[in-house]
Amino acid sequence: MQLRYNFRLYPTVGQQVSLAKAFGCARVVFNDALAARREAFEVGKRISDGELSKRLTEAKQTPEREWLGEVSAVVLQQALADLNTAYRNFFTSSSGKRKGAKVAPPRYRSRKDSRQSIRFTRNAKFTVTSGRKLRLPKIGDVVVRWSRELPSAPTSVTVVKDAAGRYFASFVVQVDTELLPEVDSEVGIDLGLTSFAVLSDGKTIASPRFLRQAERKLRKAQKALSRKEKGSFNRAKARLKVAKAHTKVADTRRDWAHKHSTAIIRDNQAVYVEDLCVKGLARTRLAKSVHDAGWAMFTRMLEEKANRYGREFGRVDRFFPSSQMCSVCGALSGSKPLHVRAWTCTCGTTHDRDLNAAKNILAAGRADSPTLVELVSASASVEQPALKQEPTGSAA
C-alpha cells in the first residue's frame, strides 16, 4: 500500500524565489490547459492529453511563455496530469460511475489560493543527498526537518506551501501491511459533542474543543486584519497572523486525532462507528461545534489505520436507531430530545444515552447485516446522501 510521509522544509530566500516561480509556472500551465479544454468543449470538440502536452512544448518556444523553461519540465507535465485527473473524476462522477459525493468540474487556480503545490516524480531525478537534504531540479538542496526515516524509496514528492507560509515535502512511499497481534476486544463508538466519543467498553474521550479554546486569539487577529487597508503590507502581515493561528488549531486537532485513533486501533480487533453525514450536520445550528470536532478526519484515520494494521472497520447506517433502542432487550423507546442524557427502558434498565448507543453500534457491526452495516475494505467507502436523523451531544 502507498502512504504519504510529510516533513517540514526550510528553503533559503533564493530557493523560495525558485519555488515561487515553479508554483506560478505550474499554475499557468494548468489554467492554459483548462481554458483550451473549455474552448474546445464550446465548439463540440475534444482535446486529448497528448495534444495538451504538445501545446505546452510549443508554448515554451513563444516569447509570451518562454519563461516556462526556467522550471523543471516534470513540474509542468504533472500540472497537466492534475487537470486530466480532475476532468476524469468529474466525468465519472457525473455519469454515476464514481461513488460518493458529486465532483465539481475543475476551476482556475489563483496565486491567492491558500495552498500552492508542485510535484516531482522519479523522472525529475529528485534525491535525498548524503547530507540529508532534498535535492530538487532547478531549485537546489533544501533543508528538511526529518522526524522519522522513510520506509522505502519515494516514488514522488510534492512540495507544498500552506496559507501560513510554511513549506512541506510530501513523499509517496510503498509500504507493506503491518499486521498487529490479534486481540479479543471489539468496540463500537458513538461520536458526539458533549463527549467527543463514547466507547462500548465504557471509556469516554472528552471533547477537546480546540477551536473554542482559540476563539479569543482568533477574534483578536481577525479584527486586526479587518482594520488594515487592502493591498497594504500591514494587511499581508495581519493575514499571515490569522493563517498561523488557524494552522495551529488544525495541527493540534490532527495530532490529537492521530494519537487517539492509533490507540483505538491498537487495542481492538474490530472497530465500528456510525456513518454520520458531517456535511448535513454542518448546515445546522451546531455547525461550528461539528467542524471543531473533526469527526470525518477521525473516522478516516480509523479506517486507514485499520486497513494498514489488519484490523476490521465498519460503518453502521446512520438511520439505525442506536439512541432509541435498548441494548439489553432491544425495545424501541422512540426519539428523544438532545437534553435527555439518560433514560429507563420498559425492561427496567437505566441507560446512559451515549453508552447505550455505542453498545448498539457494536452489536450492529457484529451482526454484519447489509441493512445495518457496511464493512469497509481497502477501497474508499461510499458516502450516503441522506442526513442523520439527530445529532448526538449538544452545542459546545
Positions annotated as catalytic residues are 190, 274, 354
Distance in Å from the first CA to the final CA of the chain: 39
Give the three cell numbers for residue 106.
475543475
Cα 72 to Cα 392: distance, rounded to the nearest angstrom:
51
Beta strand ranges found along 47-206 (DSSP E): 116-121, 127-128, 133-136, 140-145, 156-161, 167-174, 186-191, 195-199, 204-206
Q: Which run of H or of E encompasses 273?
A: strand 270-274
State the DSSP code for 12: -
Pairing, β 156-161 against β 116-121: antiparallel
Cα 41 to Cα 106: distance, rounded to the nearest angstrom:
14
Question: Could you tell me which residues come within 8 angstroms of residue 298 by beta carbon, excluding any fewer than 6 positions away?
Answer: 191, 197, 257, 260, 261
C-alpha angle 9/258/386, rounded to 5°? Answer: 115
